[in-house]
Amino acid sequence: MNRLKDTILYAVIPCYQEEDALPETINQLGAQFAKMEQAGVISPKSRMVFVDDGSKDQTWQMIRDAAQKDTRIEGIKLSRNVGHQNALLAGLMAVREDCDCCISVDADLQDDIEAIPEFVAAFEQGNDVVYGVRSCRKKDSVFKRTSAKAFYKLMKILGADVVENHADYRLMSRRALNALAEFSEVNLFLRGVVRLVGMPTATVTYARKQRQAGKSKYPLKKMLSFAFDGITSFSIRPIRLVWSLGMLVCFLAVLAAIYSLLAFWGGNSVSGWTSLMISIWFLGGVQLISVGVIGEYIGKIYKEVKRRPRYIIEERIRL
Ligand code: UDP
Ligand code: MG
């Protein structure tokens, strides 16, 4: 006998110029949803929501046709290309009132959709955020693998809390989505912000697959700017580094001063050299420290303008 569950699962799939991948994605995801529905894992009210991120190809037409044929499919069209993170957020925010939990999936099916029931199971065990973690990245190019590794290392060194080898394949409960909605920052780095939401979390590991059709929509330029965004929206440590550099230069200035004075007293220096040497080093240090001090204040302003929630209530009991 089927165990009937009433977990309403929504999948949000950001799509940018994905006409090559979409037909197969719609098929496979549809089949996976049907399977889970039949097994009683998810409610028949579950939906797949495709977000067209301002594509210029047939993506939106495909989504529209699919939505007309299949009531489990919904479409959202953004007015222009706003990037993966924002497109994903648009989808999540649009569905949060209708679902119990929502999973974000890439349109190229690189993230194994066979793992979705595991995400739902973790959700039912009381986890509000379930991170998909790649167990192996053999199918990614060597370049992508090494650059991603370097990125996670750098994020860690700079003090930003991210889950390693987790992209945006993740399930969030409605409660977590509502908390996410409280973050109104414009430079949104979802992977970092979701960590700040807190609440019980779990991970599901899966093997990352090859992109099933079409090309990656993350060329090097976008990848670098994504990494840079991630770091600068989560860490003011670079500012502190300027500070430390200033202190270091000041220390070197003392050494340089000793050296130039010795040379001066020893009589083997051109006139004017000693004073120039000392001022250059010393001024350099002072300037760096000053920039660091200003930076510290800018860092504070930066934190203020983000207006991040200072706390998130997970539960409240009142009898
Ligand atoms: N994507 C998007 N807007 C963009 C770029 C990408 O919505 O401006 C979507 C894309 O359609 C895909 C997902 O983000 O569903 C991940 O992109 P992709 O697979 O190209 O990235 P990669 O896996 O190469 O990092
Ligand atoms: Mg991909």
Same domain, 110 and 175: yes
Do residue 243 and residue 203 come from a single domain?
A: no
- Residue 211 domain-assigned? yes
Q: 89 in ligand 1 pocket by Cβ < 6 Å?
A: no
Residue 1 pLDDT exceeds 70: no
- Whether residue 208 lies inside any domain: the answer is yes
Query: Largest Cα–Cα distance of the chain, in whole Å?
Result: 99
Could you tell me if residue 179 is inside a domain?
yes
41 and 185 in a common domain: yes
The pLDDT confidence band at residue 199, using thresholds 50, 70 and 90, is very high
9, pLDDT greater than 60: yes
Q: Are residues 91 and 175 in the same domain?
A: yes
Tell whether 78 and 14 lie within a shared domain: yes
Does pLDDT of 247 surpass 80? yes
Say if residues 98 and 5 touch (Cβ distance below 8 Å).
no
Pull the structure tokens for residue 13. 């799939």
Is 58 near ligand 1, meaning CB less than 6 Å away? Answer: no
CA of residue 108 to ligand 1 center, whole Å: 8
Q: Do the domain assignments include residue 153?
A: no
Strand-pair category, 73-77 with 129-136: unpaired
Neighbours of 311 (CB within 10 A): 7
**Mean pLDDT of all residues in 232-253:** 88
Q: Count CA atoms within 13 Å of residue 169 on its CB side.
A: 29
154 is a domain residue: no
Residue 192 included in any domain: yes
130 Cα: distance to centroid of ligand 2 (angstroms): 19
In a shared domain, residues 49 and 127: yes
Which residue would you say has higher pLDDT here, 237 or 54?
A: 54
Which numbered atom of ligand 1 lies nearest the CA of 216?
20
Mean pLDDT value across the chain: 90
Q: 258 is in which domain, residue-wise?
A: 237-306
- At residue 33 the predicted structure's pLDDT band, cuts being 50, 70 and 90, is very high
Indicate if ligand 1 lies below 6 Å from the C-beta of 108.
Answer: yes
Check if 100 has its Cβ closer than 6 Å to any atom of ligand 1. Answer: no
Residues 284 and 172 grouped into a single domain: no
Per-residue pLDDT, 269: 81
Same domain, 266 and 123: no
End of a domain among 217, 250, 280?
217
Question: How many domains, the chain?
Answer: 2
Residue 246 CA to ligand 1 centre (angstroms) = 41
Report whether residue 87 contacts ligand 1, using a CB cutoff of 6 Å.
yes
Ligand 1 pocket check for 14: Cβ under 6 Å: yes
The model's confidence at residue 220, banded by pLDDT at 50, 70 and 90, is: confident
Q: What is the pLDDT of residue 151?
A: 83
Q: Is residue 132 situated within a structural domain?
A: yes
- Same domain? 213 vs 257: no
Name the closest-CA residue to atom 14, ligand 1: 84
Of 150, 182, 217, the residue that ends a domain is 217
**Ligand 1 binding pocket mutation candidate from 217, 222, 226 (most atoms within 8 A of CB):** 217
pLDDT of 73 higher than 80:
yes
CATH code assigned at 76: 3.90.550.10
215: helix, coil or strand? coil
Tell whether 123 and 247 lie within a shared domain. no
Same domain, 191 and 252: no
Q: Which of 108, 91, 141, 113 is nearest to 33 (CA)?
A: 113
The pLDDT value recorded for residue 172 is: 97
- Residue 63 CB–ligand 1 contact under 6 Å: no
- Dist. CA 13–CA 114, nearest whole Å: 16
Same domain, residue pair 299 and 201: no
pLDDT at residue number 3: 52
pLDDT greater at residue 29 or residue 302: 29
For 100-131, how does the pLDDT look when each residue is reduced to its tens digit (9 = 90+)? 999 999 999 999 999 999 999 999 999 999 99
Q: With 60 as the cut, is the pLDDT of residue 273 above it?
A: yes
